[in-house]
Structure 1
């Protein structure tokens, strides 16, 4: 069976999409129906899923996360496939949306949430994220030299410009759109620079934002254990990302199920 390692944050883990992975850390929010599991099931791959909600590029490369080792330590050089969805927490993408929806008009004036909603602060974070993503790509290529390495960018969370995003103020929605667009751009550039591939989930999901007829992501709401987290993929979104990855992988080789 072919080894597949999935790295990334909650946008790959799928918190709130039931059922959770038996035996996985509760804080990881790892769903048994996240895109890594769907891809692995479709191709009969030996999955090692170390995705973890709240992860940053530092948690992939060097930092422990709530007792779990850096994600890259899951790689042993025998992989044929590695997927990576990371960077959003580095630039405060979902955190800024969560802050705005939870704290409303108070968000810009509270110390922590105010920093998340500050455009200049987000721009400084964006200035550094491509270098961090390149470091992830290079490290994965080094540790898994025989693998196809796929960066998978983030599903769309905002409707098109000029369209109201529920109760979010327009300036917050515009900031989120900018952060998302820049994160997509930097992820693609980092993939190209490190010999990795890019799966453009953001581009494929433009018409599947939370206010669309067929949403692949969830908008604002309460954090409840029996449903997908706010500002995260739903089950349809995870299935769509899995389909994108499977399409990019192409038809399996005749001996890939041996």
Structure 2
């Protein structure tokens, strides 16, 4: 915007211009809507807020980010959510016990929303279930890669148009929002760490490779829609489930922190919030 000068009038206009340049993502007390699945909701990280079946933590990355940026948060992330739950209600449960139904996540989006974060795809592809089925304490077991590789590849391909539709839907409902789409982190290092995490080296590479393939879809669609993609694999290096308790951002099959298996812990969520904020501040 052209800067105007001229006494008091110039000062007022310059101040207004500065506020405009700051953009909606930086606006004080702007409305921030967090959408997504359990990677974003933070199940089993104290304290729980909202529907207990959603496993939504007050220490997930959305809450950390909102606090750091001074934003008014509407957190509708929910464990078990997939792309369809952006526009459809979701039934929730804990250990098979019904905990009610939550509205479509898109219901939280408004025309005045200034920032939206989205973490989705893991349940569309079914990666946690596959990872659970690949666990083995038998070093002579047949790797699970051959059983699941084609299925995961097909689900990943089917996920891409669904994600595209979700991003279109966000833009339609919140046309002025900064849309930030995260990938998923580094869950296990190359070749794994059997038996600390009970997956064979071949399967450790297959499982993280499946995460990376899903991330590639997320990045491609975010960029195609003019949105911001957040890479969480690179900053997660040295913080995967094979690392010591003090270094882990992501838990393994048996968590060492209060967090769900195969999900980020509080340190991971806080680190993700920092990565997201730094990306927003730098652009």
Which 4+ residue blocks in structure 1 deviate beyond 6 angstroms? none
Q: Does 1:61 align with 2:87?
A: yes
Contact 2:193 2:242 in 1 (8 A): no
More displaced, 142-151 or 64-73?
Answer: 64-73
From 190, 193, 196, the counterpart of 2:221: 190
Q: Does 1:32 align with 2:58?
A: yes
Counterpart in 1 of 2:46?
Answer: 18
Name the Cα RMSD after superposition. Answer: 2.4
Pairing 1:91-170 to 2, within 5 Å after superposition = 91-101=125-135, 117-160=147-190, 162-165=191-194, 166-170=197-201
Secondary structure of the 1:118 match is helix
Question: In 2 relative to 1, CA 228–251 (structure 1 residues): closer, same or farther, beyond 3 Å?
Answer: same
More displaced, 162-171 or 76-85?
Answer: 162-171
Secondary structure of the 1:89 match is helix
Counterpart in 2 of 1:256?
Answer: none
Q: Distance in 1 between matches of 2:163 and 2:174?
A: 16
TM-score (norm. length: structure 2) = 0.78
Contact 2:192 2:200 in 1 (8 A): no
Q: Does 1:71 align with 2:105?
A: yes
Report the CA distance between 1:117 and its aligned residue: 5.0
Question: In 2 relative to 1, CA 117–69 (structure 1 residues): closer, same or farther, beyond 3 Å?
Answer: farther
Q: Distance in 2 between matches of 1:78 and 1:99?
A: 43
Answer with 1 or 2: which has the greater Rg.
Answer: 2
Question: In 2 relative to 1, CA 243–115 (structure 1 residues): closer, same or farther, beyond 3 Å?
Answer: same
Question: In 2 relative to 1, CA 70–12 (structure 1 residues): closer, same or farther, beyond 3 Å?
Answer: same
More displaced, 197-206 or 9-18?
Answer: 197-206
Report the CA distance between 1:203 and its aligned residue: 2.2
More displaced, 163-172 or 31-40?
Answer: 163-172
Question: In 2 relative to 1, CA 31–117 (structure 1 residues): closer, same or farther, beyond 3 Å?
Answer: farther
Report the CA distance between 1:65 and its aligned residue: 3.4
Q: Structure 2: where are the runs of 5+ without partners?
A: 1-28, 93-100
Counterpart in 1 of 2:259?
Answer: 228
Report the CA distance between 1:194 and its aligned residue: 1.4
Aligned residues: 240
Contact 2:116 2:178 in 1 (8 A): yes
Contact 2:134 2:199 in 1 (8 A): yes
Counterpart in 1 of 2:249?
Answer: 216
Report the CA distance between 1:63 and its aligned residue: 4.3
